[in-house]
Chain A
Amino acid sequence: MEGDWWKDKIAEDIYETFRIKEQLIPRYHAHSPQIWSRRIIVDWIAVIVENFSLQPTSQHLAIYLLDYFLDKLEVDEKHLYLLAIACLFISVKFEEHCDRRPCLSSVNTFLPQNTVDWYSKDELLSMELTVLNYFDWILSVPTVAHFLPYFLNVAVDETDMYNGYTIRCKATMISYVEKYAKYYSEISLQDHLFRNYNPSMIAAACIAAARIYLQLTPTWPKQLELMTDYYLEELLPCVHMMT
């Protein structure tokens, strides 16, 4: 079921469900008085994700939970990292394979020294419950990381031109586009202004940005337009924010 399975009806169903669901994502107000700390916390989450080899879907969901939680509620400064851990743990348990869950004591060792104390199991469970209650336990939220793999399936075509030449090896080019699209998707996590765009649009913009950077032409071929339902013109504001 690997390989071409994304072409199946089920992949299409999943995609369409995600597109409907992203319409239900509430407006983000950027109200949090703690928004100054967002970048630090988002970067810290990236370190944990890297160290425990967690999936991008968990990372993106965790930051979604963090943003929308802080948009309404304030958290004691010394509990900001606790909130980040709770958001990440919830996301990992929802999104990932059973045996890839980091535990609190090892994550504690990554806390910045001399700023916060290590968190207890009690505090973690309590914070997780607060977050789960806030979201009414609804965790199935499409993020950029959910759309990206689907769009990447058509991100490169044999007819693409690289710097005016035909591409020699499609597989190599795909891996480049993947790498840069992933890089841009991480950029999109760092600035809360990306919350103004739908995740599917950001994911499409990541691929457009990667193709522009790699000098692939046409920048936005027909198959990407059809797959993503976006014209290049719609994506450009988002692309400019990334690059």
Chain B
Amino acid sequence: MTSRRDGLEQNYEEIAVIGNGAYGTVYKARDLKNDGQFVAMKRIRIQNTEEGMPMSAIREIALLKQLENYEHPNVVRLLDVRHTDHTASEIRLMLVFEYVDQDLSTYLEGCPPPGLGPDRIRNILVTSQGTLKVADFGLARVYGFQMALTSVVVTLWYRAPEVILQAAYATPVDIWSCGCIFVELFNRRPLFCGQSDIDQLSKIFDILGLPPEDDWPENVSLPWNSFKAVPPQPLEQFVPEIDNDAKDLLEKLICFNPHRRLSAQEAMNHSYFRDDLDSLRTSSSLSVSEGESFETDGRSDTPSKHGGS
């Protein structure tokens, strides 16, 4: 069992506050038992309530624990779970993560403006080697066959249309979000910045065009004809730096109909990544030059298929 009571302060030395998340504070700290290596500590205060341990804590920890088995290179490591003895009104949970230098927003801030919106991408971390790591699984779920999923998933700007429309949804919603972030890597600002659900949909249709009525999900409260019929706009108008391969990939990631959106596997097989992988395989110097370009305090060029050159 990695979860123990108390003694947490002796093992970890807090250095600085990194952030205040939705339900806790994150500190940068040193693990005194492990040569003082940096760790990130997420401290969660848990009030005693009628429902016991909060759902978000259970899901986040359970999922991270499960993912530990796979040691996925793009998922942040959960090193330890501890909790204080509990007093009458609350306990404190402490999640100890591997320390990652910066989140994607900080990383992109190193790039020239147009600047970022207020909604930062905090859940995607970037190591000094340029490896992406996903963190924060508070709303994540393990897939089963009969799922009732919540409609409050992800920040509005990255939310797939079927979620906003409160239709049935599954893994394609993540591909949509990936498409939005993909654009942001080019533009350094979000693509669809809606102020409300309806506004978000309008902003999506302003660019993608209103989808054909056949693609509109069934049994949703917002009818298809409540939106203006607008034609699709050429994507390069909104993402000037995009090349043809990337544009083709993007179109398939932010496809309105979730059934026709690419799957993760299909996306990985797309020629945009294919070239990237080929050059990785053939160029032995790439890892060095890539490392250097990432270490200039996050300053880097637009993602292009040739390793940011």
Interface positions of B from 9 to 25, Cβ below 8 Å from A? none
Flag if B58 contacts A132 (CB, 8 Å).
Answer: yes
The answer, among A14, A90, A105, A140, for a CB contact under 8 Å with B53, is A90
A residues near B65, Cβ cutoff 8 Å: 136-138
Flag if B1 contacts A105 (CB, 8 Å).
Answer: no
Contact code string A87-98 (vs B, CB < 8 Å = 1, else 0): 001100111111
Contact code string A1-19 (vs B, CB < 8 Å = 1, else 0): 1100110011100110000
A residues near B55, Cβ cutoff 8 Å: 93, 98, 101
Flag if A128 contacts B52 (CB, 8 Å).
Answer: yes
Interface residues of B (CB under 8 A from A): 1-3, 46, 48-55, 58-59, 61-63, 65-66, 81, 83, 86, 88, 91, 142-146, 148-150, 152, 168-171, 258-259, 263, 265
Flag if A97 contacts B144 (CB, 8 Å).
Answer: no
- Shortest distance from the beta carbon of B64 to any chain A beta carbon, whole Å: 8
Size category, A interface: 35 or more
Flag if A93 contacts B58 (CB, 8 Å).
Answer: yes
CA distance A128 to B54 in the complex (A): 11
Flag if A94 contacts B62 (CB, 8 Å).
Answer: yes
B residues near A104, Cβ cutoff 8 Å: 50-52
- Shortest distance from the beta carbon of B260 to any chain A beta carbon, whole Å: 12
Flag if B146 contacts A125 (CB, 8 Å).
Answer: no
- Is A161 located at the chain interface by the 8 A CB criterion? no
Answer whether A10 and B146 are a contact pair too, CB < 8 Å, given A1-B170, A133-B3.
Answer: no
Flag if B148 contacts A14 (CB, 8 Å).
Answer: no
CA distance A129 to B2 in the complex (A): 13
- Is A122 located at the chain interface by the 8 A CB criterion? yes
Interface residues of A (CB under 8 A from B): 1-2, 5-6, 9-11, 14-15, 55, 57, 86, 89-90, 93-98, 100-101, 103-105, 121-122, 124-126, 128-129, 132-134, 136-140, 146, 149-150
- Shortest distance from the beta carbon of A128 to any chain B beta carbon, whole Å: 5
A residues near B53, Cβ cutoff 8 Å: 89-90, 93, 125, 128-129, 132
A residues near B62, Cβ cutoff 8 Å: 94, 137-140
CA distance A136 to B58 in the complex (A): 11
Q: List 25 A-B contacts (CB under 8 A).
A: A1-B258, A5-B170, A6-B145, A86-B52, A89-B52, A90-B52, A93-B52, A94-B62, A97-B148, A101-B51, A103-B50, A104-B50, A104-B51, A122-B48, A122-B86, A125-B48, A125-B86, A126-B86, A132-B53, A133-B1, A133-B3, A137-B58, A138-B66, A140-B142, A150-B145
CA distance A127 to B66 in the complex (A): 22
The answer, among B54, B88, B148, B152, for a CB contact under 8 Å with A122, is B88
The answer, among B81, B144, B145, for a CB contact under 8 Å with A137, is B81
| Those 3 A-B pairs whose CB atoms lie nearest each other, nearest first | A103-B50, A97-B148, A93-B55
Complex: chain A residue closest to B61, CB-CB: A137
CA distance A22 to B83 in the complex (A): 30
Complex: chain A residue closest to B66, CB-CB: A140
A residues near B49, Cβ cutoff 8 Å: 121
CA distance A96 to B81 in the complex (A): 24
The answer, among A55, A95, A105, A149, for a CB contact under 8 Å with B50, is A105
Knowing that A136-B1, A140-B66 touch, tell me 19 more A-B residue pairs with CB under 8 angstroms: A1-B170, A1-B259, A6-B145, A10-B143, A10-B171, A14-B145, A55-B146, A86-B52, A101-B55, A105-B50, A122-B88, A124-B52, A125-B46, A128-B53, A129-B86, A136-B65, A138-B62, A139-B58, A150-B145
